Each structure stands twice: as C-alpha cells, then as structure tokens.
Structure 1
Amino acid sequence: MSNIGSRYGITSGSRENTVYNALWVAQALLRKGSAKTVSKRILIFTNEDDPFGGITGAVKTDMIRTTIQRAKDAQDLGLSIELLPLSRSDEDFNMSLFYADLIGLEGDEIVQYVPSAGEKYIFFIEH
C-alpha cells in the first residue's frame, strides 16, 4: 500500500475516493507560491475512464459530485488539470463517463480532447 500505483480504482462498497484524495493532495502541494510566476498543473494519467463504475446509487452520485467540486476548487485557485488518457488495446477511452465533467469539457471539445492528449503524451516521450 505504500507504493505509488499499488492501488487500482475505487473499491465497490467503500466510501474511500482515491480520485478525490489525489486531487486534494495535489492542490495542497501546489497552492503555495505565486501563481503569477509559475504554471501549476495537475496531470492525470489513467486508463480507467469510469473510476466509479463499480459503485451505484446515492454513494456514486455523491462521490462524483464531491470529486468534480474538488477539481473546480483547484481550478479556482489557478491550478490547471490535464488528463492524459491511456487507451486500452480493446476499447477507446470514453471521456463522457466522468473526466469531461472533471476538467470542464463540453460537446465537440470532448471528441477532440482524446486525440490531442495522445499527441501530448508522444511529445513528452520524444523530447
């Protein structure tokens, strides 16, 4: 449990919200310092397009709502959130399930975002 990446997703029946917790920690680490002199970004690398897929009902609704609010709070503090979706070989990453709301995409922006994220990822590797 002490290793980064040792946990996968959100456990069904649990109220622990790992996406919310990650945003909270990143916001706490990045909020210090001047936003005028530094660009502060939270990069999310994931191949899980529906982190709350194993949860249903009011618990799922509440977890999604609080996580999206945490993301909006971070953005209000001048932190940008970028998603770098890692598609699986057997299926495309579906932004509409959760992450479009998290990073504030609508309509055509959703369709255009996934290919550009892949290009950014390739750019990071090459340079």
Structure 2
Amino acid sequence: MDIGNLEKTADLSAGEWIGDIPDMEGIEFKVRSTNYKPFRVATAGLARRSGKRLNTDDGLNDFNIATGKPLAEHILIDWKGLTENGKPLPFSKEKAIAILTAEDDFGIGAKFRRGVEWAGDQVADRINKQAGEAAGN
C-alpha cells in the first residue's frame, strides 16, 4: 500500500454528467456521488426516523419517496433532455424536489429516484476505483 496520497482528498461536491441512464432515454443528469457526506447524513437520519416501518411495504415505499428530497438537495445538480408538456424544462431545485418526491400514478417520481440514485452510484464507483488506484491496491 502506498500512502503517498494520504493528504489528498476527492472532491465529491463538483458532480459530473452521467448519461445512458436505464429506462430514461435521452436524459442526462449532473450528479454528485451518492457517497457525498451531506446525502449520507440525511438518508441515515431518514432511516433512523423510519425505524421498524422499513420492514413493511408501505414503510419502504414511504422511505423511498422521502429519499427524493435528499437526492434533490445533495445529489442532483442539473439535467438535460427533460421536457414538460413538450417544452424543455430548465433545472430548478424546487422542480427537482417536486419530481423526486412525487408518488404519481405513472411512476415518474419513482423512475426519477432510481435514475438519479443510479447516476450518483456511477460517480461513487468511479471515485472508489480512483481511490483504490491511488492507494496502490
């Protein structure tokens, strides 16, 4: 193990563009890593407050919907390719929260939550790989 990079830090706040998101053709998200500490703290707090309810289908669904707000506040930075009523939709934090916390009949909110989390996981995987290479493992 090489400790030459011990003092270096990985910037998890900048984010990067991720495309080819499963089930979201033509959409790109600019996202941070799902290992971004403020996101981890927010979702850990949700899990603690949800407690035993996570063991039920309703509780798990409520938890998944509740994770939409931390995804919007900490992971999703921007988007490309999203439209509303056929017109390009510019990114706004408020619209991101509305979409990511939606429990709609068409599953749009759930699809977005899965897509943003998947994209954030791609960034996390890349950073973890770089960290392993930097450590000489």
Provide TM-score, normalisation by structure 1: 0.26
**Higher-Rg member (1/2):** 2
The higher-RCO structure (CA 8 Å, 6+ apart) is 2
Provide TM-score, normalisation by structure 2: 0.24
